[in-house]
Amino acid sequence: MLLFLQIFLLIPDLDPGAIAEFSLPAIFIIIFFLTFVTEDGACLLAGALAAEGAIGYPFAITACFAGIFVGDIGLYWLGRLSGKRAAKTKLFRRFVSEARLRQASHWLEKRGLAAIFISRFVAGLRLPTYLAAGFLKTDFLKFTVFFLIAAAVWTPLLVVGAGFAQKLLFSGNFLLGALLLFIAVRIIFIAVSRKRWLLFKGRLKKIYRWEFWPIQIFYAPVVAYVAILGIRFRSLTVFTCSNPAIPAGGFIGESKDGIYRGLLGSEPAGEFLLAHELIDPKSDREGSAVSAGAFAARTGFPIVLKPDTGERGKDVMVVRDLDGLAEALELLEDRYIIQEYAAGDEFSVFYFRYPSQAHGEIFSATEKLFPVLEGDGLRTVEELILDDPRAVSIAGTYIDNMEDDPDRVPLQGEKVKLIEIGTHARGAIFNDGARIITPELTGSIDAICRGYEGFFFGRFDLRTTSEEELKKGRGFKIVELNGVTSESTNIYDRKFSLLDAYRILFRQWRIAFEIGSENRALGVRQSGASELMRLLFGGKPRTKTPG
């Protein structure tokens, strides 16, 4: 709908008379290619134009049908020629998720060619279904026949229906009519499907549940506060001095391997570290496969694969066997960390120490819960997610990232784990974990950090099989350590209001500036604004040097 709205914003002065000045071939080409952007929108616009007399109905139907036919047949052949591997690429996943494609494949296998016909009348299913038909090498002739029948019914119905509504309700203002009709069609599609209605309600919930707000919106006040701190400390980027051991203090793009190696230099950290290796399948796929296989043989499965410079749990995978490892390695495009898997409960611990002080302290702790749903022998995994008051708000995230088949019906009482990656962006539930902060745990974390020369501020992600042992400062494993842009993740506990969250984040950033200011006075060079902008746009961090 946003794309359709943008079209109207770009052509506010367009009217049927202006359209009539175009040649018929030009109008045909416009409608034809508009179907590649929004099939329904193109049909509604063509119907509105026909109602206003700018074009005829046969012409409008033919232009829409031709664009739909060429575009959707193209999707079939894209799926058939590219294979399923293409569906796992980052570019492909921007348009259709792997889970949605997998779901469409199951649906196609279950319902056969009838699914191709049905998908024409169900918004959101066409793209993945036609691609899945190609992936599964559905007979092209049969696919075309079913597709033609569906398109031949759908296209005239939508074009003529739009024309009738335009003439009845919006005569003389075809742009407004076409836009309102487009919105009305979307509302109808939502209303007639329980699944789409629940997803719509979930999206509405995300508006008033701030924990699900887009990061750009949620962090706007924090960015403003950081600007105020920059004025106060006479530098917008002095916070990058908070961790001299990490390029730019760990602002963005820091190497996980580099941080793990820094921790290896801390003698107290030894017993808490997980085994890991850095692999680069892009430059040496065969060597990476050998190294990864040898690593898995030493540690045993499952193992974890994560981007060396990834953030917020993006593209982290838990691999459970050799076949899964081989498949994952084929798809990796950048440098990756292969890491020993740590079982147990997960907690985050945010630590800081001023350079002028001998010891640091724990700023906050977070308990991470992996949401679990219970089967009833009747509903599918997807239906369980949609019926859950919280899970429905990020249903797409759960379905896209889970290993389970969304169409599977769990047994009565069966537990269905939605995720096992402890990041809020992937759907983990975060609670305030202040109860685990003890003098013993603080002492262990402080010793580890003091042994990591040049580290003063950041968040540990820990796994433990015993909370009581964790409180005693032992029995845990370090999954990850993040630098200056770490988040005090306890803010996502439902007991905290939005104002509470900002209060915590403001204090966190004030401390980062204070530590950075002390380190700058000791001779640490801060990163410049141009360097941070370069990192934001994908540049590699430069090693910080004193002086």
Residue-by-residue DSSP string for 273-340: BPPEEEE-TTT-HHHHHHHHHHHHHHH-S-EEEEETT--TTTT-EEE-SHHHHHHHHHH--S-EEEEE
More confident residue, 411 or 122: 411
The whole-number pLDDT of residue 243 equals: 96
The DSSP bridge partners found for residue 337 are 278, 306
Please give the single-letter amino acid code of residue 437: I
Neighbouring CB atoms inside 10 A of 455's CB total: 26
Contacts with 216 (C-beta within 8 Å, 6 or more apart), sequence order: none
Amino acid at 262: G
Position 19 scores a pLDDT of: 56
Averaged pLDDT, 259-265? 92
Q: What is the pLDDT of residue 513?
A: 97
Q: CB-based contacts of 122: which residues, under 8 Å, 6+ apart?
A: 189, 193
Output the pLDDT for position 118: 72
Q: What does the alpha-carbon distance between residue 310 and residue 480 come to, in Å, rounded to a whole number?
A: 11
Query: Where would I find the H helices in 54-97?
Result: 57-82, 90-93
Query: Does the domain made of 233-272+343-370+419-547 have the CATH classification 3.30.470.20?
Result: yes
Domains 233-272+343-370+419-547 and 275-341 in one fold: no
Among 465, 471, 490, smallest CA distance to 365 is for 490
pLDDT in tens, 30-78: 889 988 888 888 888 888 888 878 888 999 999 999 999 998 888 888 8
Give the integer Cα–Cα distance in Å for 163 and 498: 47
Token representation of residue 105: 């494949």
Task: Tell me the H-state helices in 373-523.
Answer: 381-387, 395-401, 439-451, 467-471, 498-521
Mean pLDDT is lowest, of 283-287, 302-306, 472-476, for: 283-287
- Mean pLDDT of the region 95-101: 61
Tokens linked to 530: 């141009």
Residues 6 or more apart whose Cβ sits within 8 Å of residue 45: 31, 34, 162, 178
pLDDT at 126: 75
Residue 546: pLDDT band with limits 50, 70, 90:
very low
Rounded to the nearest 10°, the torsion over CA 186, 190, 195, 199 is 80
pLDDT digits (tens, 9 = 90+) for 107-166: 666 666 677 777 776 666 777 777 777 877 778 888 888 888 888 888 998 888 888 877
**How large a percentage of the chain has pLDDT more than 70?**
83
Alpha helices per DSSP H over 402-497: 439-451, 467-471
Domain boundaries, the chain: 2-192, 233-272+343-370+419-547, 275-341
* Sheet strand arrangement including 476-482: 429-432, 361-369, 345-352, 457-464, 476-482
Selection from 482, 487, 369, 485 nearest residue 430 by Cα: 369
Read off the DSSP letter of residue 41: H
Residue 107 exposure: Cα atoms within 13 Å on the Cβ side = 21
Distance, CA of 247 to CA of 540 (rounded, Å)? 9
Query: C-alpha angle 199/97/188, rounded to 5°?
Result: 35
Q: Which strand (E) or helix (H) includes residue 517?
A: helix 498-521
Q: What is the pLDDT of residue 11?
A: 41
* Integer Cα distance of 547 and 542 in angstroms: 15
How many beta carbons lie within 10 A of that of residue 155, not counting itself? Answer: 26
Give the contacts of 253 (CB within 8 A, at least 6 positions apart): 247, 309, 535, 538, 539, 540, 541
Q: What is the pLDDT, as a whole number, of residue 238? A: 95
Over range 250-267, report the average pLDDT: 90
> Over the stretch 237-249, which tens digit does the pLDDT of each residue have?
999 999 999 998 8
Question: Among candidates 470, 467, 447, 456, which has minimal Cα distance to 522?
Answer: 456
pLDDT band at residue 219, thresholds of 50, 70 and 90?
very high
* C-alpha dihedral sign at 442, 493, 241, 312: positive
112-126, 366-380, 381-395, 449-463: which has the minimum mean pLDDT? 112-126
Look up residue 60 and give its amino acid: A
285-291 average pLDDT score: 85
Q: For the chain, what is the mean pLDDT?
A: 83
Model pLDDT for residues 352-376, shown as the tens digit of each residue = 999 999 999 999 999 999 898 999 9
- Nearest to residue 507, comparing CAs of 248, 533, 499? 499
The DSSP code for 365 is E
At the topology level, CATH places domain 275-341 in Dna Ligase; domain 1 (3.30.1490)
CA–CA dist 301, 306 (Å, integer): 15
Q: Tell me how far CA of residue 203 lies from CA of 183, 389, 394, 429, in angstroms.
A: 17, 12, 8, 18
pLDDT digits over 57-68, tens only?
Answer: 999 999 999 999
Q: Which three-class secondary structure state does DSSP give residue 171?
A: coil
Q: Strand order of the sheet with strand 317-319?
A: 276-279, 336-340, 303-307, 317-319
Looking at the whole model, is its pTM more than 0.85? no
Hey, which of 129-143, 174-188, 311-325, 504-518 has the most confident mean pLDDT? 504-518
**What pLDDT sits at residue 223?**
94
Mean pLDDT of 230-243: 94
Mean pLDDT, residues 277-296 taken together: 86
HSE (CB half, 13 Å, CA atoms) of 382? 16
User: Region 312-341: what's the mean pLDDT?
Assistant: 84
